[in-house]
Amino acid sequence: MCVQTVPTSDGAELAVYLSGRPSGVPVLLCHGGPGQWDYLEPVAELLPEYSVHRFDQRGCGRSSGPADYTVARAVEDIEDLRRHWGYQRWAVFGHSWGATLALAYAWTHPSRVDRLVYCSGVGPGNDWRAPYREAERARLTVEQFERRQQLEQADRAPAEEIEYLTLCWCTDYADPETGLEWARHDATNAPAKVNFTANRQLSEEAYAWSAEDVATACQQVTAPTLVVHGEADPRPSWNARRIAERIAGAQFTEIPDAGHELWRENAEDFAAVLRGFLLQA
């Protein structure tokens, strides 16, 4: 893997990670959060014959500001990366919040996207949020839920931050016990602090989009599109399916026995679906 820094048009420095075959078809992977860092190396490893590009979004991980945390600026950061490498078109994959970002890039710059993968996204509008919270709550014990609420309001010490992130992330998995282990590992080994300012500002902006706004914008997407979702993701798959219904010719696939991070719980099926889509003529 090659690590570089790429400047943006407004002076940010984005940490980027390159892997795969340099002469291969270019693919960009967009991580979730918002406010986190790249964690998509396992996805990149599924695509060894592609030229795979990953990055930490601005103000997150190893990337710097300015702290312009808007969707428009995040989309422009992707376009700055494309211009830097000189690609006319590339495939764009987004996971979770990154799926929202990848979709916004595809409807803003449709001529630059060869293929779009919307992975584990929340879908349009806001009616997904109540069933998501209900499903998430069901995966925590009473004690875990109360402790998370307590920590959310606290000025957290480093050990408490690890505990808080563990309780936030463990509900993403089909198997709660395994999920708790993975979440604790990820929180303990986090390469940076979560940028909660970016998280709040970008989430609030995206949540303000109505389902009608998203449906209209999706009409601008011209790339072949895959919407892929885990059957056990607490974010409801029926709302992710709505994205596929709003993009002409889009494909929707659910991965069995998998939650939010499909490559962790069912890598075989996820890899088959992802590679099959990218390899389509």
pLDDT of residue 281: 54
Instruction: Please indicate, yes or no, whether residues 99 and 140 belong to a single structural domain of this protein.
Output: no
Which of 167, 188, 209 finishes a domain?
A: 188
Has this prediction a pTM greater than 0.95? yes
Which of 188, 204, 222 finishes a domain?
A: 188
Which of 188, 208, 237 finishes a domain?
A: 188
Instruction: Please indicate, yes or no, whether residues 47 and 78 belong to a single structural domain of this protein.
Output: yes
Instruction: Please indicate, yes or no, whether residues 8 and 108 belong to a single structural domain of this protein.
Output: yes
Nearest-angstrom CA–CA distance, 139 and 30: 27
> What number of other Cβ atoms are within 10 A of residue 21's Cβ?
12
pLDDT of residue 279: 87
Instruction: Please indicate, yes or no, whether residues 170 and 56 belong to a single structural domain of this protein.
Output: no
> pLDDT tens track of the chain, all 281 residues?
667 999 999 999 999 999 999 999 999 999 999 999 999 999 999 999 999 999 999 999 999 988 999 999 999 999 999 999 999 999 999 999 999 999 999 999 999 999 999 999 999 999 999 999 999 999 999 999 999 999 999 899 999 999 999 999 999 999 888 999 999 999 999 999 999 999 999 999 999 999 999 999 999 999 999 999 999 999 999 999 999 999 999 999 999 999 999 999 999 999 999 999 998 75
pLDDT of residue 2: 65
pLDDT of residue 1: 62
Instruction: Please indicate, yes or no, whether residues 211 and 117 belong to a single structural domain of this protein.
Output: yes
Contact indicator for 108, 78 with CB cutoff of 8 Å: no
Instruction: Please indicate, yes or no, whether residues 104 and 150 belong to a single structural domain of this protein.
Output: no
Torsion sign across C-alpha atoms 117, 217, 105, 190: negative
Q: Which residues contact 157 (CB under 8 A, 6 or more apart)?
A: none
Instruction: Please indicate, yes or no, whether residues 236 and 139 belong to a single structural domain of this protein.
Output: no
Q: Which residues contact 201 (CB under 8 A, 6 or more apart)?
A: 69, 70
Q: What is the CATH number of the domain that holds 41?
A: 3.40.50.1820
Instruction: Please indicate, yes or no, whether residues 236 and 102 belong to a single structural domain of this protein.
Output: yes
Overall number of domains in the chain: 2
Contact indicator for 65, 74 with CB cutoff of 8 Å: no
- Pair of tokens at residue 165: 């992130």
pLDDT of residue 192: 94
Instruction: Please indicate, yes or no, whether residues 37 and 116 belong to a single structural domain of this protein.
Output: yes
pLDDT of residue 128: 96
| Structural domain boundaries enclosing 75 | 2-124+196-278
